[in-house]
Structure formats: structure tokens, C-alpha cells
């Protein structure tokens, strides 16, 4: 669980202007790399093992990814959870095209999978204001899962009130607008292999 020290950030700064990165961003500059590919991969692997260890092997587990932001994290994570599981998705949007939360959560896709009697892990890319989690948890609880936990790659720890703290957190993130590894700014940058700040 780390965030790069300013000195380390400078070391990674040289990666930001490589032709490979600029090709992905369409020439748009990224301010700094917060978590590089190797750091993310190592942490995701650890999280997968921790998650597998937390559930009895014979009980049904459903990993529910919150789209779109979690799509890369979720696909890496489930491959590191060495036990049977099912995957489904939920689509909610709380951000418009900017960098601040609108405070409104819209459900755009509701999973058809039955949640009743299953262990559910809601997978988020990032917990920021906490609005999304606070809105989704009660809604999913109504469907009678055996348990419901939140797994987030990033947690900014700025939410004033969270109905439930995530059980699994990849990294305690700085309070900056982050992009890459699934996270977007106006739909750009999701395909960056690292997490950077704008
Ligand atoms: P929250 O409801 O404010 O906790 O955040 C909801 C969603 O906003 C997250 O799942 C992300 O998709 C998006 N979001 C929040 N912070 C950031 C950020 O720093 N970069 C990119 N997307 C973000
Ligand atoms: Mg987004």
C-alpha cells in the first residue's frame, strides 16, 4: 500500500514523455505516475489471495464489477482469486464529464444474476466522495446476499460518511484526480497501464 514519495515521482516523471505513453494519450501530458504497472500487479495479486482466503471454498461467490472504471482491475483481480466464482457487472454513473462528483448516482444496468444467498464482492475502481458506494450498498442488501463486501483498488479517504468501509483496499490514494488502469477523464486514458494524476 504505497503512494510514491515526491523523489520517486520525479524518477517516474521521465516515463511520462516516452513516445509509448504519448501515443496512448494522444499527446496529452500526464502530470505524474502514482502507481506503476509492476506496483499495481503485485498488489492485485496479493488482494486475490486475501479474498480467496476469506471465504469457505464451497460457498458461492459473486464478484460484481462496477463499470466502467473497474473493468481492468476486475479482470486482473479475478484471475488471481484461486477458487470458483461468478462475475457480473453493474453500471452506475455519478460523474458527468468533469472531475468533480455530481452527487447523483444513476443506475444504467442492473445485474440479472440472483444475489440471494451468495457472498457478493462489489468491485470499485476508486472510492472518492463515497456517494456511489453509499447508494449501491443498501440497494444490493435488499436482495438478500449472504454477505456483501466492497473491494476497491483506490481509496481517497475523503468520504464524509460511508455506509460501509471497503474490506479490501488496493492503495490509499492521494486526493488528486487519477487516471489510467480503467479510470477515465471524460472517457480518455482508461487504457493507460499505470495510474497517473492529471
Ligand atoms: P464516488 O461516488 O465519488 O465515491 O466516486 C464514484 C466514481 O467516480 C468512481 O467509481 C470513479 O469512476 C469516479 N471517480 C472518482 N474519483 C475519480 C478520480 O480521481 N479519477 C477518475 N474517476 C474518479
Ligand atoms: Mg468515471
Asked if residue 193 has pLDDT above 90, the reply is yes
CA 41 to chain centroid, in Å, comes to: 13
For 147-192, write each residue's pLDDT tens digit: 999 999 999 999 988 999 999 999 999 999 999 999 999 999 999 9
Mutate to test the pocket of ligand 1, among 105, 126, 152, 162 (most ligand atoms within 8 A of CB): 126
Nearest CA to ligand 1 atom 9: 126
**CB of residue 183 inside a 6 A radius of ligand 1:** yes
Nearest CA to ligand 1 atom 11: 126
User: Reduced to 3 states, what is the DSSP secondary structure of residue 101?
Assistant: strand
Active-site residue 128, yes or no? yes
For 6-56, write each residue's pLDDT tens digit: 656 555 665 677 888 888 888 888 888 999 999 999 999 999 999 999 999
Residue 163 near residue 142, CB atoms below 8 Å: no
For 114-152, write each residue's pLDDT tens digit: 899 999 999 999 999 999 999 899 989 999 999 999 999
**CB of residue 94 inside a 6 A radius of ligand 1:** yes
Whole-number pLDDT of residue 160 = 87
Q: Which of 71, 56, 62, 73 is nearest to 169 (CA)?
A: 73
Mean pLDDT of 83-98: 80
Q: Which residue has the higher pLDDT, 71 or 96?
A: 71
Q: Which residues surround ligand 2, an ion (CB under 5 A)?
A: 95, 184
User: Reduced to 3 states, what is the DSSP secondary structure of residue 4?
Assistant: coil
- Give the up-direction half-sphere exposure of residue 95: CA atoms within 13 A in the CB hemisphere: 18
- Close Cβ partners of 97 (under 8 Å, ≥ 6 residues apart): 186
Amino acid at each position: 500500500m504505497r503512494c510514491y514519495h515526491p523523489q520517486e515521482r520525479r524518477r517516474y516523471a521521465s516515463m511520462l514523455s516516452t513516445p509509448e505513453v504519448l501515443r496512448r494519450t494522444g499527446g496529452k501530458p500526464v502530470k505524474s505516475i502514482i502507481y506503476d504497472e509492476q506496483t499495481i500487479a503485485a498488489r492485485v495479486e496479493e488482494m486475490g489471495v486475501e479474498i480467496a482466503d476469506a471465504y469457505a471454498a464451497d460457498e458461492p461467490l459473486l464478484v460484481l464489477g462496477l463499470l466502467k472504471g473497474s473493468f481492468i482491475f476486475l479482470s486482473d483481480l479475478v484471475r488471481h482469486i484461486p477458487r470458483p466464482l461468478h462475475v457480473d457487472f453493474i453500471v452506475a454513473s455519478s460523474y458527468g464529464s468533469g472531475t468533480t462528483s455530481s452527487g447523483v448516482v444513476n443506475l444504467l444496468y442492473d445485474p440479472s444474476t440472483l444475489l440471494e444467498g451468495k457472498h457478493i464482492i462489489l468491485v470499485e475502481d476508486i472510492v472518492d466522495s463515497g456517494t456511489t458506494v453509499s447508494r449501491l450498498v443498501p440497494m444490493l442488501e435488499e436482495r438478500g446476499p449472504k454477505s456483501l463486501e466492497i473491494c476497491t483498488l483506490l481509496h481517497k479517504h475523503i468520504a464524509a460518511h460511508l455506509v460501509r468501509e471497503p474490506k479490501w483496499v488496493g492503495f490509499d490514494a492521494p486526493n488528486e484526480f487519477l487516471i489510467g488502469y480503467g479510470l477515465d477523464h471524460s472517457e480518455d486514458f482508461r487504457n493507460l497501464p499505470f495510474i497517473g494524476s492529471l
